Amino acid sequence: MQHKYIKQWVSPLQPQKDELLSSWISRVALSYYINSAELFSKHLIKYNAYKRDLDIAIFDDDFWSTLSYLSQLSVFKLKSMQILDLEGKLQKKIYINHRNRWIVASSGNIYPNKRKSKSLRFCPLCLKEKGYYSKDSKLIFINVCTKHQVYMQDTCPKCNSIVLPIRLSPPKKIHECFCCGYDLSSINPQKASTGEVEAVEFSKGVLSSNIFLHQNHIRTALDYFTVLFLITKNLHRFSKKDRLLMEHRINKTNLPSSSPYLFLQPPSYLAYITAISYTLLTKEWNRELLGFIKRNKLMYASRLLNKRENVYYMIPLWFLRHLKQLWTPKLTCTI
């Protein structure tokens, strides 16, 4: 596209180091006292960018060059605010039009009365200090702020709506609820346990290094997050009857919601079962994990997956092989 007759944005706000693209676009729009739809309405309207999940959407070169010209930022800088670089680390493929295992939505096309997916999560203390939504806000396994050691939030406590900064309109601010205008940074968060903080720190370390050491073997980050999801999902499936969740040393602080889906659970509950999954995977691999699998008859892949999983879900072979090795009378643990 020729940019000769396009007027650039006047002194747009600079993005922060770990800020999401949707968060930055929202802040820029609000600084001009308009909403994000109006910001895109003149030169980028044909892409329906406002209705798409900006943080994982794939656009052509024309979109990026136009946005780069308008914002006076490089294409590389703009793309770096997305999280598509996590493909192959967090999950094998990041889906644009389907639900992702570890990624929540931040699309302007989601409405509070259609709760098909939870949206961005945030630490109220970080939101108050920084004034933007970071990339951690998109990741379901990050349910604890490691800086302040408190649980993340994902809904407005006043109207119970999801968090979508891309749908904010003036005079609302970036730290306010897009529905009722409640100040989300004023929430008094609950303290998380040491084990839950440790689990999130370890997972973030695996994601940044792309490897983790397991039973003296180097595995990939993709393997770690695949197995972590398998264990977490099955912990949730049997949470009402298995003793592991009742007796584990990490205290349960919140009850799960009535939904059978993992991604619709509150962050405090997700932090609890994800921390147990992390402990089973890294510290209690042979004893507690095998006992849980035996009690609930999850030895085979078909049992581990269940009917709700899609056909593209691949279980690492080393995980299944190790379970078979443990499945011997000599190594049977007391249940």
In 3D space, the residue among 109, 98, 134, 127 whose CA is nearest the CA of residue 263 turns out to be 98
Which pLDDT does position 330 carry in this prediction? Answer: 46
Which pLDDT does position 105 carry in this prediction? Answer: 81
Are 51 and 150 in a shared domain?
yes
DSSP assignment string, 54-75: TTT----HHHHHHHHHHHT--H
Residue 79 in contact with residue 18, Cβ under 8 Å? no
Please give the residue range of the domain that contains residue 72.
21-186
Residue 12 domain flag: no
Are 126 and 225 in a shared domain?
no
Residue 4 domain flag: no
Helices 221-237/288-295 angle, 10° precision? 50
Which pLDDT does position 334 carry in this prediction? Answer: 42
Are 27 and 170 in a shared domain?
yes
Are 174 and 146 in a shared domain?
yes
Sign for the CA dihedral angle at 269, 184, 204, 309 comes to positive
Instruction: Assign 235 to helix, strand or coil.
Output: helix
What number of H helices and E strands is found in the chain? 12, 4
Convert 249-281 to b/e letters by CB count within 10 Å (16 or more is b). Answer: ebebbeebeeeeebbbbbbbbbbbbbbbbbbbb
Are 155 and 257 in a shared domain?
no
Report the C-alpha gap between 143 and 269 in whole angstroms.
9
Q: Quick one: CA torsion of 29, 34, 38, 42, rounded to 10 degrees?
A: -80
Q: What is the pLDDT along the chain (335 residues), one digit of tens a residue?
A: 556 567 888 888 899 989 999 999 999 999 999 988 888 887 788 888 878 888 998 899 999 999 998 899 999 999 999 999 998 898 888 887 777 888 888 876 654 444 445 678 999 999 999 999 999 999 999 999 999 999 999 888 888 888 889 889 999 999 999 888 899 999 998 899 898 999 999 999 999 999 988 888 899 999 999 999 989 988 888 877 777 777 665 555 567 777 777 778 888 889 989 999 998 888 878 778 888 888 888 877 777 776 555 555 678 888 888 777 766 654 444 43
Report the C-alpha gap between 182 and 145 in whole angstroms.
21
Q: CB under 8 Å to 304, separation ≥6 — which residues?
A: 230, 234, 298, 315
Across-strand partners of 191?
A: 150
Report the C-alpha gap between 76 and 68 in whole angstroms.
9
Distances (CA, A) of 309 to 256, 258, 262: 20, 19, 12
Which pLDDT does position 333 carry in this prediction? Answer: 42
Are 297 and 162 in a shared domain?
no
Are 217 and 166 in a shared domain?
no
Q: How many domains does the chain have?
A: 2
User: Tokens 């209690």 — which residue?
Assistant: 284
| Phi/psi of residue 264, nearest 5 degrees | -95, 5
Are 85 and 177 in a shared domain?
yes
Are 222 and 167 in a shared domain?
no
Are 55 and 162 in a shared domain?
yes
Across-strand partners of 227?
A: none
Are 62 and 155 in a shared domain?
yes
Residue 203 in contact with residue 61, Cβ under 8 Å? no
Residue 61 domain flag: yes
133, 160, 186 — which closes off a domain? Answer: 186
pTM (predicted TM-score): 0.88
Q: CB under 8 Å to 225, separation ≥6 — which residues?
A: 89, 90, 91, 101, 102, 141, 203, 206, 207
Q: CB under 8 Å to 89, separation ≥6 — which residues?
A: 207, 210, 220, 221, 222, 225
Residue 242 domain flag: yes
Are 175 and 257 in a shared domain?
no
